[in-house]
Structure 1
Amino acid sequence: MNALVELVLVLVVLGFAVKLLLLNFWRAVLFFSPSSVRVRPEAPAEQMDLPAELAPLAGQLRALGFVPLGRHVEKPRFHRGTRSYDFAHAGERTFATLHFASEGLPRLYLLTPLAPEGFVLTAGYKRPGFELPGRYRSGGFPDASPERLLQAHLERLQGLTPAEHFTWDARLQAGQAWYRGAGQREIRRQNLPGVLWTFVALAIVASLFLGGGRSA
């Protein structure tokens, strides 16, 4: 009976460790290799199939002068990826992207590539501020309307030189460049907990097997 109880406990702990790995291993890979994320086009503007939950934000963007570009997916290794819906306002030199958070909530962020390199990123949700003078600015304005978010974004662009092209190809290139350069520090900061939980899960698995070996 004691052996059966011990076996059940081992299986429960092992299951917990496996679940931790499934939830966090891809984040650990992302931490160590941000440039491994692939930004891939999925559909042009006329085939975007915008979800109903994003329609109100999309309507507000169109009212501000943004035009739809297309849908893309940002796919880390060992993860299904995040589907994103892109818009652009060439006059304001700004891309807008809609997507869903992990909790299923609609999210919006604005992105302007800089010349010769760099980005300004302004999110309509909580996002820690970060700046590299002349090259990179990011931050969040939780619950700001698209109009207010655009105003804040344009204010944060002052003194910087936006890139020239605001096509869908340029948006896809900017996304890939963010993962390969300016965004890597933020990615590592966001995914550090995933690394820690991955090591915890591996330690649990190792202790189970090593412990079993010593018992034998």
Structure 2
Amino acid sequence: MNVFIELATVLAGLGLAVALLFLNAWRAWLFLFPASVRVEPEDPADQMELPAELEPLASRLQALGFDALGSHEEKPRLRRATRSYDYAHPSERVFATLHLSPEGLPRLYFLTPLVSGGFVITAGYKRTALDIPGRYRSGGLEDAPPERLFRAHLKRLEGLEPSGTFTWEGRVETGRSWYRGLGQKEVRRQNLTGLLWAVAALAILVSAFLGGKPGGG
């Protein structure tokens, strides 16, 4: 009986390790290779099919002077793509992007690329603050309405010089530049826990297949 209990315990441990590896492999890959995320244009503004959940935010953006640009997708390896819907306020040098969270909640963030190669990002949801003086400012005001969020973004742009063209093509290139450049620091911070879980799961599996027993017994 003890043999069966021990076997069941081992199999349960292996199953848990496989599940952890399956759930976190994409995060580990993203931590190691943030530039591997593909950013591709999808539909231009006149063909963009906005989900109903995002329509109220889109209306408020347009009231603030934003124009629709089109949609794009961001596709990490080993993960389904996220579709985003882009707007721009060329005179203020600001992009606005709408998307749905994994839970289906509406999300909005403002984005401005800088001459320094950096970015300013202001999100309307929880986002860890990160500040590299003169080059990168990222953070969130959770549940802030678009009008307040826009004012906060413009305030955070003071003293910095925006760059780029505020067109659909410019927005897609800005997304690619973020993953190739200073955005990598933030991507790694967001996915460090996933990397650690994946490494732990892999260590358990390697130990089992090599005939060792976790814990050194």
* TM-score of the pair, normalised by structure 1: 0.92
Pairing 1:64–2:64 present: yes
Change over 3 Å in CA distance of 1:203–1:164 after alignment to 2: closer
1:135 corresponds in structure 2 to 135
| Partner residue, 2:194 | 194
Tell me what 2:37 maps to.
37
In structure 2, the residue matched to 1:161 is 161
Aligned to 2:79: 79
Q: How does 1:193-212 map to 2 (within 5 A)?
A: 193-211=193-211
Distance 1:83 1:196 in 2: 28
Partner Cα distance (1:4, 1:104) in 2: 44
Q: Does 1:96 align with 2:109?
A: no
**3-state DSSP of counterpart to 2:11:** helix
Unpaired segments ≥5 residues, structure 1: none
Deviations 1:32-91 (Å, cap 9, x if unpaired)?
Answer: 111111101121112221111111111111111111111111111111122111111112
Q: What secondary structure, in the 3-state scheme, does the structure 1 residue paired with 2:166 have?
A: coil
The number of aligned residues is: 213
Partner AA of 1:146 in structure 2: P
CA–CA separation in structure 1 for the residues paired with 2:212 and 2:195: 26
* Equivalent position SS for 2:137: strand
Q: CA deviation at 1:212?
A: 7.1
Q: In structure 2, list runs of 5 or more residues that go unmatched.
A: none
Q: CA deviation at 1:211?
A: 3.3
How big is each residue's C-alpha offset from its partner over 1:186-216, in whole Å with a ceiling of 9 and x where there is no partner?
A: 1111110011000111122123223379xxx
Shift of 1:6: 3.9
| Cα offsets for 1:115-157 (capped at 9, x unmatched) | 2522111111111221222211111111110000000000011
CA RMSD of superposed structures (Å):
1.7
Residue 51 (structure 2) aligns with: 51
Cα 1:103–1:125 change in 2 (3 A) is same
Greater shift after overlay, 2-11 or 31-40? 2-11
For 2:103 and 2:44, how far apart are their aligned partners in 1? 26
Q: TM-score, normalised by structure 2?
A: 0.92
Aligned residue in 1 for 2:180 = 180
